[in-house]
Amino acid sequence: MRVDIISIFPEYFAPLDVSLMGKARDRGILDIHLHQLRDWTHDVHRTVDDTPYGGGPGMVMKPEVWGEAIDAVIAEALAGGADAAGPSVPGAGEARADLGVPGEAGDEAAHEGLLLPRMIVPTPSGRPFTQEVALEYAKEPWLLFAPARYEGIDSRVMAEYGSRLRVDEVSIGDYVLAGGEAAVLVMVEAVGRLLPGVLGNAASVADDSFAPGAMENLLEGPVYTKPPSWRGHDVPEILLSGHHGKIARWRRDEALRRTAAKRPELLARLDPEGLDKRDRQV
């Protein structure tokens, strides 16, 4: 997967060199390109923001600089990633650099060969980022993140690219961050760990809280390792029994209990068809 991130703080993304994401990059599974938004300004102060029309506090990010940045990043990637150390964009050979062609947006087939990226704009007023969205993004060959500072990006940027690319405004939760960069880190990690070859044990993705299938709308229950007793706290007997059927049942009971206690609103979303008699007793 290719990931482009345009930000006034590209250094914010240093953690993507560490741990699982760092390894995914080393292995070429995750091909991350960072870009300094200010490189597309034309004044000595490298200005990226201005006062909001209609008044009010704060500043709004200027459309011209974002437009130039996004056009250039896409064109450069399609041309084979001149600055790229990693692999160039797959399918770039047959790609079209004329981004102005309307009608490509929403044409699923057109995106198969990685013609254009899926653009993600983090904002507290976006649609919620969930495991389902992470799984959806993990299928994309190319993501372009546009994190904003200040009060956000001039809305015409989303309107402009929304007619050419798929543009998602996405929130990682009901709180306000100082900027979209931390949200991008969260999303890249949630998506990156789902890419084939990133996790050592692919089965662990299926056991994740919220994973589609058995764990859909359920929180994962408690986990334990050795020793069997620590400071008077014992590991539940059942986990030491070696009885796989009973252990699976216990884990499901614990997941149901924990979900009922901490996220009761999720229980209402459980598919009644998928519930058995034991589930209903928990």
Instruction: Please give the positions annotated as active site.
Output: 124, 151, 193, 208
Interface with ligand ADE (CB under 6 A), residue total 11
Q: Which of residues 143-182 bind ligand ADE (CB under 6 A)?
A: 171-173, 175-177, 180
Structure tokens at 271: 């598919």
**169/214 Cα distance (integer angstroms):** 29
Longest dimension (CA), the chain: 70
Smallest CA-to-CA distance from 119 within 172, 165, 185 is with 165
Give yes or no for residue 6 binding ligand ADE (CB under 6 A). no
Give yes or no for residue 125 binding ligand ADE (CB under 6 A). no
Rule CB under 6 A: choose which of 183, 188, 255, 256 binds ligand ADE: 183
Give yes or no for residue 7 binding ligand ADE (CB under 6 A). no
Structure tokens at 272: 């009644």
Minimum CB separation of residue 123 from ligand ADE in Å reads 5
Q: CB-wise, 34 or 255, nearer to ligand ADE? A: 34
Candidate segments 52-60, 76-84, 118-126, 217-225, binder of ligand ADE by CB under 6 A: 118-126
Rule CB under 6 A: choose which of 81, 117, 122, 192 binds ligand ADE: 122
**235/224 Cα distance (integer angstroms):** 7
Give yes or no for residue 123 binding ligand ADE (CB under 6 A). yes
Structure tokens at 146: 């546009």
Single-letter code of the amino acid located at 136:
E
Helix (H, G, I), strand (E, B) or coil at 217: coil
Is the Cα torsion angle 62, 117, 193, 127 positive or negative in sign?
positive
Binding site: residue ranges?
172-177
- Sites of contact with ligand ADE (CB under 6 A): 122-124, 171-173, 175-177, 180, 183
